[in-house]
Chains A and B, each alone.
Chain A
Amino acid sequence: MLVERAKRNDRDALEELFRVNYPLLLGALVRITGDARAAEDVAQDAVLRAIVNLEKYEPRAKFSTWLITTALNTYRNRLRCARRELPTEHVSIAGVDSAEDLALGRLATSDAASLLGALSADKRQVFVLKHYYGFTYQEIADAVGCPVGTVRSRLHDSVQMLRREIARRGLI
């Protein structure tokens, strides 16, 4: 198995494993962060962390699921750092409450992702993982670090918000 070979530091297996899963990881992060460049940075960090901690991966979950979970942890850490670094006046002037919402400002200008930009960061993570990647509720709960009930309610709220947004923009 590819992962087992990779765990034994087989360079070819590692290359193959990450090259196969990288487009999916990057796609998920672009949708979640709304910023292709930031997504690439987070994805690279996540790959590095995943390689170093490859022993922690257990094959009962799909490798891509584990990789995305690792990436979301990396992303959350980066956001925490960004929030600490973000000056308060910047936040109030921009009328946003987090560094991620600043990224969302950029997201809003991109046609492909603008609809998802209507969702808050927490809800968008949940919705993207469910809608595009078919994660189970439990997998999403593990990935975003909240209870399954919260995942369900965030997903439900996302549907309601997207529905309103679609109607507001007259997309259907």
Chain B
Amino acid sequence: MNRECEKVREALLDMVYANASMGDIARHLEECSECRDYVGALADIAVVLSAQRDDCTPLPGVESAASSGAVAGASPDWARLSSTIERGVKLRMARERRTVGIFALSAAGILAAVWTPLLARSPHAFLALQVAGFSGIALFYLPIHVLRARRGDDM
């Protein structure tokens, strides 16, 4: 097997799996019996494995398992899947709540650390800082809100 054989065999894989063009491959195949043999091997594998390709029990109303790549002997445990989904949703929501909680606590901590001394010294400076702070937050979030609204996301 020479270097060209190697290249052609890679291309053969692509061709068989519908990714490549035929031009040079066909020319090489005419001349090389080893590679013709290799094409035969790919065809044999496809035949043998397609005979083993089978179905599994699809859920009523869900697309056919055969078209979705399911396999014989694999019967989905739908009840278990439902409870896994339920568990996943709970974990997901718990994580979201945790994230919001951590963010809120951090924000409260920072505010308390920065603003409490200011408030104690000068209420007017505190008020000005508060206005500046909220304006900054609004300016930061406005473009994000506009973009998400355009995309149709919920906030």
Contact = CB atoms under 8 A, between A and B. Distances in A.
A52 B45 contact: no
A19 B52 contact: no
Interface residues of A, number: 51
A93 interface: no
Interface stretch (A72-80, A81-89, A94-102, A126-134): A126-134
A31 B44 contact: no
Contact of A159 (B42, B47, B95): B42
B74 A51 contact: no
Interface string B75-109: 11110111011011101110100000000000000
B92 A26 contact: no
A90 interface: no
Grouping DSSP codes into helix (H, G, I), strand (E, B) and loop, the A interface class, with mixed when no group exceeds half, is helix
Given A19-B59, A23-B68, A47-B88, A163 B45 contact: yes
Interface string A22-40: 1110111011000010011
Given A14-B89, A26-B70, A20 B63 contact: yes
Contacts of B18: 134
Contacts of A116: 49
A115 interface: yes
Nearest to A17: B85
Contacts of A27: 56, 65, 68-71, 74
B48 A115 contact: yes
A52 B74 contact: no
A152 B10 contact: yes
Contact of A54 (B73, B92, B93): B92
A8 B96 CA distance: 11
A23 B70 contact: yes
A15 interface: yes
A104 interface: no
A14 B85 contact: yes
A147 B24 CA distance: 26
A145 to B, nearest CB: 21
Contacts of B58: 23
B41 interface: yes
Determine which residue in B19, B38, B41, B42 has the highest number of CB atoms from chain A within 10 A of its CB, and name it: B41
B88 A24 contact: no
B62 interface: yes
A103 B104 CA distance: 48
A170 B59 CA distance: 37
B71 A30 contact: yes
Contacts of B81: 18-19, 22, 44, 47
A112 B72 contact: yes
Contacts of B154: 8
When A and B form their complex, which 7 residue pairs have the shortest distance between CB atoms, in order from nearest? A51-B88, A23-B70, A27-B71, A163-B41, A27-B70, A23-B65, A24-B68
18 contacts: A4-B153, A9-B92, A9-B93, A20-B63, A21-B68, A27-B68, A28-B71, A30-B73, A31-B71, A40-B77, A50-B88, A52-B88, A52-B95, A132-B69, A152-B13, A162-B41, A163-B44, A171-B48
